[in-house]
């Protein structure tokens, strides 16, 4: 048996608790991973709270987690790409656990240069950011506006867009402005007058916008970007439908993840970890995630 975080009803962070689960056996095309770190995302908190139950309902008892890193300890039939002892990272189902089974087709090897915490926080948010820049066709010489720029996806989107040669403007709370600037973006404060502040920073206009906040941020994006096909959100599906802009669905692949991992190995992409919590303190991690504007990702760790 192994331990995992589960919840049996929608609600606040307190609905999360540890439970014993059978250790999974890897099936065809799978490996079993002893988890060392798992990223915490806004998607996790929205699933837990029931905010997404209208379009992404869960079956109770439910587990959380979309990304993890750990050590392979068993392989399924016909698996040749990985062997026991390999250190891996990737998008997974139920990452808040001591052990899990994962499809090898979506995994990448963990670079030695990447800590466990950073490896656990890369897969989902990094691939979402990469997908968004592809979908929005962000290119050299263009101006990209990123809302929630200091967050998990925002931190990667800034770095990847800057590497493409784009100018990046990032909305963030004032306490996070220096962090946003360090990633390669020009920070701008939220709140009334946002559109005018962005126009002052980009007098020639904004070519594309990526929203990680929802609500007013999408309305401001529509005001600033002429082509609604170049506005995307990862936070507000209802707003995307209302304003006829893109809802970004992450396109995950081993190729995309390996590219991100290689950038990390080369020191060309960093993973900011805001705080680490032991697996048993998942409820506290969710409370932290929902309680303030973060710089980067929260990570659950497993000893």
- Band of residue 294 on the pLDDT scale cut at 50, 70, 90: confident
Residue range 270-297: average pLDDT?
A: 94
Closest CA to 293 of 184, 158, 189, 199: 189
- Tokens 């990526």 locate to 210
List Cβ neighbours of 201 (8 Å cut-off, separation of 6 or more). 169, 186, 188
Tell me how far CA of residue 171 lies from CA of 37, 159, 191, in angstroms: 29, 15, 10
Of all residues in the chain, the percent with pLDDT exceeding 90 is 95
- Band of residue 93 on the pLDDT scale cut at 50, 70, 90: very high
- Has residue 227 got a pLDDT over 90? yes
User: What's the pLDDT score for residue 293?
Assistant: 74
- Tell me which DSSP letter residue 225 carries: -
pLDDT in tens, 27-64: 999 999 999 999 999 899 999 999 989 888 999 999 99
Closest CA to 29 of 93, 78, 88, 66: 78
Residue range 279-303: average pLDDT?
A: 93
- Tokens 């975080």 locate to 5
What the chain holds in terms of domains, given with CATH numbers, is 2-122+271-301 (3.90.180.10), 126-247 (3.40.50.720)
pLDDT in tens, 115-168: 999 999 999 999 999 999 999 999 999 999 999 999 999 999 999 999 999 999
Q: What is the DSSP string of 252-290?
A: --HHHHHHHHHHHHTTSS---EEEEEEGGGHHHHHHHHH
Consecutive H or E run containing 152 = helix 152-163
- Has residue 292 got a pLDDT over 80? no
């Amino acid at each position: 048996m192994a331990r995992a975080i589960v919840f049996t009803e929608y609600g606040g962070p307190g609905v999360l608790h540890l439970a014993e689960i059978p250790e999974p056996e890897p099936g065809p095309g799978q490996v079993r991973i002893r988890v060392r770190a798992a990223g915490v995302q806004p998607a996790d908190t929205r699933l837990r709270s029931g905010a997404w139950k209208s379009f992404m309902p869960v079956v109770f008892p439910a587990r959380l987690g979309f990304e993890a890193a750990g050590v392979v300890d068993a392989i399924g039939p016909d698996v040749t790409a990985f062997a026991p002892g390999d250190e891996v990272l990737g998008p997974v189902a139920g990452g808040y656990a001591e052990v899990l089974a994962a499809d090898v087709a979506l995994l990448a090897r963990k670079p030695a240069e990447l800590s466990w915490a950073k490896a656990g926080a890369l897969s989902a948010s990094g691939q979402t950011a990469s997908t968004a820049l592809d979908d929005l066709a962000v290119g050299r010489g263009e101006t990209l506006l990123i809302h929630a720029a200091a967050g998990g996806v925002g931190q990667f989107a800034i770095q990847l867009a800057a590497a493409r040669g784009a100018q990046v403007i990032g909305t963030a709370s004032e306490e996070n402005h220096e962090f946003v600037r360090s990633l390669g973006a020009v920070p701008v404060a939220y709140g009334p007058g946002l559109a005018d502040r962005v126009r002052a920073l980009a007098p020639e206009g904004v070519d594309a916008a990526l929203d990680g906040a929802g609500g007013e941020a999408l309305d401001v994006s529509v005001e600033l970007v002429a082509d609604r096909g170049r506005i995307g959100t990862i936070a507000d599906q209802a707003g995307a439908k209302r304003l006829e802009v893109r809802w970004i669905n992450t396109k995950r692949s081993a190729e995309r993840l390996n590219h991100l991992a290689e950038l990390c190995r080369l020191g060309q992409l960093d993973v900011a970890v805001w705080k680490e919590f032991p697996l048993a303190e998942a409820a506290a991690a969710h409370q932290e995630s929902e309680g303030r504007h973060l710089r980067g990702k929260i990570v659950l760790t497993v000893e």
